[in-house]
Structure 1
Amino acid sequence: MTDTPHPFHPNFEYAFTIAIELSKATYIAPSNTGQTRAAIYATSGTVEGRINGIVVPMSGGDFPLVRADGVLDFDAKYLLELDGDAHVMIHNRGYRWGSEDAMERLRRNEPVGNDEYYMRVAPRFDAPAGPYEWLNRYVFVGVAEKLPGSNRIHYFQLM
């Protein structure tokens, strides 16, 4: 092995954090696939960093599939209202998994160390022309924290 980085090694730059309060989950178990589907709504939240604003209350939510292997397969979509009254749609796809013990504590809404589970998302944005249209042009990765009753997602822009 060499210490020389690959010439196309990605560089990430911190962009912003979304802290989102969540409703109680509603479950469809089993769903038509034989797995469990949930519905969890975005009740409120904040956006802070290179962009600032709020999560528009009840503008959407997450509809994760609990796969047979225990992995949560996220599919979340909701609106952000950013400074200047711009509305931006965010669509997060991603995964959360961990040990059986860590996942059970997360299900009970108990605190779990971020080193005990994996929770990552890949967002896409639908932003209007103007100061936020750069969101439509870059790839981002979100590193998420599951907190009791909420999520906090730290987004990094791939340069």
Structure 2
Amino acid sequence: MTDTSVLGEDYQPISLIGLEFAFRIRIYFDERRKFEPTTPMGGRVYVPPLSGDISGPRLQGRVIPHSGGDWARGRSDNAAELNAHYMLEASDGTPIYINNRGFLYGRDDAGLPVKVANKTQENLAAGAETSWKIAPDTYFFCIPAFDAPVGPHDWLTRHVFIGRGRRVPSPDHTCFDYYIVDNA
């Protein structure tokens, strides 16, 4: 329920927001490279895409190998700031650029950020398969922006999307589910 005391008695929400599942990108990354020493703005990790595929009702295709990278930054508040740029290829051969920005962090019992590394060590101690077994309550969201030529995939350039990430330990990869934000 909306508190109208702040917004005024006549406040009515414009409309509810709906999410429509559009597609999933499964991406396998190459070797992670850490920049040392850390900069005043935090540590930085670079990892290029090795391969991947795209599946879903609105888009199918593949991730173009070594077409960019994820430039993640570890921040002092325990959040990892994600900024990935790479190329996709739709099943019809259309090239599509993606810039994925978001955040990744574990959460303590109060819901506050903790380093994912700390959470994954807890998971290892609890019997997880690998250190990349991220807890289900991990905050792993992104907002992608796309660039595509005029044609069957230019709809990507006219919508707002939200993505939810999930690490998968075996084999080591990341899945991103992308949703179109629209009216409910």
TM-score (norm 1): 0.89
- In structure 2, what is the Cα distance between the partners aligned to 1:34 and 1:85? 39
Q: Unpaired segments of 5 or more residues in structure 1?
A: none
Residue in structure 2 matching 1:90, options 91, 94, 98: 98
- In structure 1, what is the Cα distance between the partners aligned to 2:164 and 2:64? 21
Q: Which SS does the other structure have where 2:38 is aligned?
A: coil
- In structure 2, what is the Cα distance between the partners aligned to 1:96 and 1:112? 10
Is 1:118 the counterpart of 2:132? The answer is no
- In structure 2, what is the Cα distance between the partners aligned to 1:68 and 1:58? 29
8 Å CA contact 2:163–2:178 kept in 1: the answer is: yes
Matches within 5 A, 1:14-93: 14-33=21-40, 35-49=42-56, 50-93=58-101
1:10 matched residue in structure 2: 17
Q: Unpaired segments of 5 or more residues in structure 2?
A: 3-11, 108-113, 122-129
In the TM superposition, residue 89 of structure 1 has moved relative to its aligned partner by: 0.2
Query: CA 1:101 to 1:85, structure 2 compared with 1: closer, same or farther past 3 Å?
Result: closer
Bigger radius of gyration: 2
Query: CA 1:86 to 1:67, structure 2 compared with 1: closer, same or farther past 3 Å?
Result: same
Question: For 1:20-47, what per-residue CA distance to the aligned partner results, in whole angstroms no more than 9, with x for missing partners?
Answer: 0012211113333251100011000000
Residue in structure 2 matching 1:150, options 173, 176, 184: 173
Question: For 1:106-132, what per-residue CA distance to the aligned partner results, in whole angstroms no more than 9, with x for missing partners?
Answer: 8x643233x231100000000011000
1:103 matched residue in structure 2: 117
8 Å CA contact 2:105–2:115 kept in 1: the answer is: no
- Name the % identity: 30
TM-score (norm 2): 0.78
- How many aligned residue pairs are there? 155
What's the RMSD between the two structures over aligned residues?
Answer: 1.9
Runs of 4+ more than 3 Å apart: 99-104
